[in-house]
A and B are shown apart, each in its own frame.
Chain A
Amino acid sequence: MKHAFAVILMLTALPLSAVQPDEVLDDPVLEQRARELSKGLRCLVCQNESIDESEAPLARDLRLLVRDRLVVGDSDDEAIAFIVDRYGEYVLLRPTVTGSNWLLWAAGPLMLFLAGGVGFGYLRTRQSADEPDVIALSDTEKNRLAELLKDE
């Protein structure tokens, strides 16, 4: 269900089909660039779908807009900037590495650094630790544990 709920929301927009044959540019190089750019742009009325996958009419408009910009001669960055100017950074599926977003991008590496440090520190203590006296178990518990473990 978890999955489905999102999908329902995604698809409540009018279904046509994703990229239509009449949208495809004649120049395969430009078309390929347009497809790559489309994968990074969000369909604004859908739930977490790129305009490349989306079936909503608005996504089609955006796809055509991207292609228009490329045909006019925009570079990839210029085309993206053109769209971000009009629709805001909400349209980017890959958040930019600016301002507070540093935190998002750095979260993984920072956490890895931290966890790695703590983990390594722990391993060092285990290496130098003395084998403690194992008297924590009572006799009955020892027997029971032995019974459980004897089939190793």
Chain B
Amino acid sequence: MIIELGHFALILAFLIAIVQAVVPLIGAHKHWYGWMAVAEPAAKMQFLFTAFAFAALTYAFVTSDFSLRLVWLNSHSAKPMLYKISGVWGNHEGSMLLWVLILTLFGASAAWFGENLPPTLRARVLAIQSAVAVAFFAFILFTSNPFLRLAVPPFDGQDLNPLLQDPGLAFHPPFLYLGYVGLSMAFSFAVAALLEGRVDAAWARWVRPWTLAAWVFLTIGIGLGSWWAYYELGWGGFWFWDPVENASFMPWLLAAALLHSAIVVEKRESLKSWTILLAILAFGFSLIGTFIVRSGLLTSVHAFANDPERGVFILMILAFFTGGALILFAMRASVMEAKGVFSVVSRESALVSNNILLAVSCFVVFVGTLWPMFSEMFFDRKLSVGPPFFNMAFTPFMIVLGLILPIGSTLAWKRGKIGQAAYQMRYVFGLALALALLVWVMQTGRSLMGPIGLFLGAWMVLGAALDLWMRAQRKWNRLLRLPRADWGKSVAHGGLGVTMFGIAGLLAWQVEDIRVAKIDEPFTVGQFELELKGVDRVEGPNYLSTMGNVVLRRDGVELAVLNPEKRNYPVAKMPTTEAAIDYRFLRDVYVVIGDPQQGGGWTLRTYIKPLANWIWAGTLLMALGGFLSLSDRRFRVAAGARRRRQAQVPAE
């Protein structure tokens, strides 16, 4: 019963979305206020109905209702509760429902928080947002309906893919979707501004918090996914340049560019058409990402044929919205006249360089990701583009970005002096260089990656700190009274530095050891001594585990007992490896157990991973910086102003 109600609620939300996409748009065009006013209640209702549909599906998973096809395919009664819930979005249909739930959530938030937007702009934004929702409701209802029943319900389900039964991955998709879909707000604002024919500082100020929120969520989502890959996949890689990862990375790069170019629109009324274009492209890349993942086009060219209907549907959505917005852009971009005047050496120019580097690096990732397909289609060459390409073609952009960031972020607006900005940074530069040289002398015969990365990381972290210190005019008591946006900027920039630090450390100085370990025979890896004490068979809730018992020592002192596991999930018929990791500030020791060997002993793989945690600490700092900036009072001022105005309105 609840399932059918959920299904019905989803159809109702679809119908409301159609109305909301059409009526306010006409109202805004004709200046009919009644028609425009339809948008807000519709947006809120649409969200509530979708939320009900999602709750109904969650209920089916929690109660293990195997009469629902989706539950039967992706759940099992013995599965822990956390994974019953995360199983809702651990499959195509459910994850699309989550996608559209977040889409309507953003629409409803715009209705809730957008009360001081000009009425026509608000109506248009909500209508565009709803038009995107219409497309995805149709996609779910016609090609990927999660509410289909089975005529004969089986006794138990087929279990969720064991790789997904993990806390890191349980929360990875919601964050990622909040980011992806959050960019739809920037898109709606951009298209609405094109329809209105004007972009000004106020517009940029409304768009920035949405973009910032989307970017923060995307950062957390990508970070979680990468952390999960690190501890779950069994060899401690954190980024594989896989098409699916690239699909989330491209919108992240463009969202980062958009954040920065919107600052220029807000402060200086320039870069307007570029910012609009970025907003369209950022959401376009979100859609491309969805397309890549759902169609299976890039995971394998042949998987596309498995599900042509869904792939073609998303391709049509992509072509309609991105193509339509770009045509509109081509027609209307000329009306957006830049106002600000500034010199070639200025903060504005630094932000333009930031945008060029981020957008071009995104382009490199895009070309690299799609090249195997292009190449096969047009040149009849079947080839691969893997991590070695991306490392070579992408990294230089990040190095240049890291080099100019500390200087660029302290340049003055309008007319800056590069000599002055560089001079202020002389101690930071010297310190970072000294660190790199020290490390270079200490390491012998290893790649230059380590020292270079360490230099960049230190340069950016110290540069961000100095930036903050100078903003506070070198006084401690002013430091805490700085606007949170200043703190946000420095924390996020420092976070990027910390991540670069971690990546350089991990890539340059990792130590790996592969051997057959005999029970009670200690061996050394780097400065550590490890000893396999025994191997046990352990039974989990829905898996069987082979669990090693490894003692980690350094200089004879026991540091930790590590329990690497190999799990076997009998229902899903899939094994997983669970690495055991001793997390420390400066390094991780990472142990994976393999198969038993003839003649006794087990395959044991040990890695020492220097600075591994710094990668995700930096990611968290970037997200924290975003949140700090988001909580700056100028973004809340609008709400306060609204309350004051309402108070002044006399009773009628």
A50 contacts B637, C-beta separation under 8 Å = no
Among A3, A89, A92, A131, which residue has its beta carbon within 8 angstroms of that of B244?
A3
CB distance from A75 to the nearest CB of B (A): 19
B360 contacts A104, C-beta separation under 8 Å = no
Q: Please, which residues of chain B bring their CB within 8 A of the CB of A148?
A: 202, 205, 637-638, 641
The interface bits of chain B over 342-358 (1 if a CB of A lies within 8 angstroms of the residue's CB, else 0) are 11100011001101100
Q: Is B105 an interface residue (CB 8 A)?
A: no
CB distance from B229 to the nearest CB of A (A): 7
Interface residues of A in 101-121 (CB under 8 A from B): 101, 104-105, 107-108, 111-112, 115-116, 119-120
A21 contacts B603, C-beta separation under 8 Å = yes
A107 contacts B384, C-beta separation under 8 Å = no
Q: Decide: A100 near B299, CB < 8 A? Known: A2-B248, A8-B161, A111-B360.
A: no
B353 contacts A6, C-beta separation under 8 Å = no
The interface bits of chain A over 1-36 (1 if a CB of B lies within 8 angstroms of the residue's CB, else 0) are 111111111010001111111001000000000000
Q: Please, which residues of chain B bring their CB within 8 A of the CB of A11?
A: 163, 574
A145 contacts B202, C-beta separation under 8 Å = yes
Q: Find the residue from B116, B248, B270, B594 having the highest chain A CB count within 10 A.
A: B594
Q: Is A136 an interface residue (CB 8 A)?
A: yes
A132 contacts B243, C-beta separation under 8 Å = no
A95 contacts B359, C-beta separation under 8 Å = no
Number of interface residues of B (CB under 8 A): 91
A123 contacts B229, C-beta separation under 8 Å = no
CB distance from B404 to the nearest CB of A (A): 13
B389 contacts A93, C-beta separation under 8 Å = yes
Q: Please, which residues of chain A bring their CB within 8 A of the CB of B338?
A: 126, 129
A15 contacts B575, C-beta separation under 8 Å = yes
CB distance from B75 to the nearest CB of A (A): 16
Contact-size category for A: 35 or more
Q: Is A139 an interface residue (CB 8 A)?
A: no
A122 contacts B386, C-beta separation under 8 Å = no
Q: How far is the CA of A123 from the CA of B268 in the complex (A)?
A: 13
B364 contacts A107, C-beta separation under 8 Å = yes
Q: How far is the CA of A9 from the CA of B292 in the complex (A)?
A: 14
Q: Please, which residues of chain B bring their CB within 8 A of the CB of A53?
A: 235, 237
A21 contacts B514, C-beta separation under 8 Å = yes
The interface bits of chain A over 128-152 (1 if a CB of B lies within 8 angstroms of the residue's CB, else 0) are 0111101011000100110111011
Among A3, A111, A124, which residue has its beta carbon within 8 angstroms of that of B363?
A111
Q: Decide: A88 near B344, CB < 8 A? Known: A2-B247, A2-B248, A3-B229.
A: no
Q: Please, which residues of chain B bring their CB within 8 A of the CB of A99?
A: 379, 381
Q: Please, which residues of chain A bring their CB within 8 A of the CB of B392?
A: 94
Q: Please, which residues of chain A bring their CB within 8 A of the CB of B515?
A: 21
Q: How far is the CA of A17 from the CA of B353 in the complex (A)?
A: 45
Residue of A nearest to B605 (CB): A17
Q: Is B55 an interface residue (CB 8 A)?
A: no
Among A39, A108, A132, which residue has its beta carbon within 8 angstroms of that of B397?
A108
Q: Decide: A3 near B245, CB < 8 A? Known: A95-B385, A122-B352.
A: yes
Q: How far is the CA of A24 from the CA of B515 in the complex (A)?
A: 9
CB distance from A95 to the nearest CB of B (A): 5
Q: Please, which residues of chain A bring their CB within 8 A of the CB of B90?
A: 1, 4
B163 contacts A95, C-beta separation under 8 Å = no
A48 contacts B173, C-beta separation under 8 Å = no
Among B173, B205, B383, B389, which residue has its beta carbon within 8 angstroms of that of A1?
B173
Q: Is B560 an interface residue (CB 8 A)?
A: no
A89 contacts B381, C-beta separation under 8 Å = yes
Q: Please, which residues of chain A bring their CB within 8 A of the CB of B344?
A: 120, 123-124, 127
Q: How far is the CA of A147 from the CA of B344 in the complex (A)?
A: 31
A1 contacts B95, C-beta separation under 8 Å = yes
Q: Is B172 an interface residue (CB 8 A)?
A: yes
Q: Please, which residues of chain A bring their CB within 8 A of the CB of B388?
A: 39-40, 93-94
Residue of B nearest to A1 (CB): B173
B603 contacts A115, C-beta separation under 8 Å = no
Q: Please, which residues of chain B bring their CB within 8 A of the CB of A95?
A: 371, 383-385, 389
Residue of B nearest to A88 (CB): B382
A50 contacts B387, C-beta separation under 8 Å = yes
Top 9 nearest A-B pairs (CB, nearest first) are: A93-B386, A94-B388, A6-B244, A17-B594, A108-B364, A3-B225, A100-B379, A1-B173, A107-B367
Residues of B within 8 A of A (CB): 89-90, 95, 116, 161, 163-164, 169, 172-173, 176, 198, 200-202, 205, 225, 228-229, 233-235, 237, 240-245, 247-248, 270, 289, 293, 299-300, 337-344, 348-349, 352-353, 355-356, 359-361, 363-364, 367-368, 371, 375, 378-379, 381-389, 392-394, 397, 514-516, 574-575, 577, 592, 594-595, 597, 603, 605, 633-634, 637-638, 641
Query: Would you mind naming 30 contact pairs between A and B with Cβ atoms under 8 Å apart?
Result: A2-B289, A2-B293, A3-B172, A5-B299, A8-B163, A15-B577, A16-B595, A24-B514, A47-B299, A48-B240, A48-B384, A88-B382, A90-B382, A90-B383, A92-B383, A94-B389, A95-B389, A100-B375, A104-B389, A105-B393, A107-B363, A108-B367, A108-B397, A111-B363, A115-B359, A123-B352, A126-B342, A127-B341, A129-B338, A132-B337
| With A1-B172, A2-B293, A8-B163 already in contact, 12 other A-B pairs whose C-beta atoms are closer than 8 Å | A1-B173, A3-B169, A7-B229, A17-B594, A92-B384, A104-B367, A104-B368, A104-B389, A107-B364, A111-B364, A124-B344, A131-B339
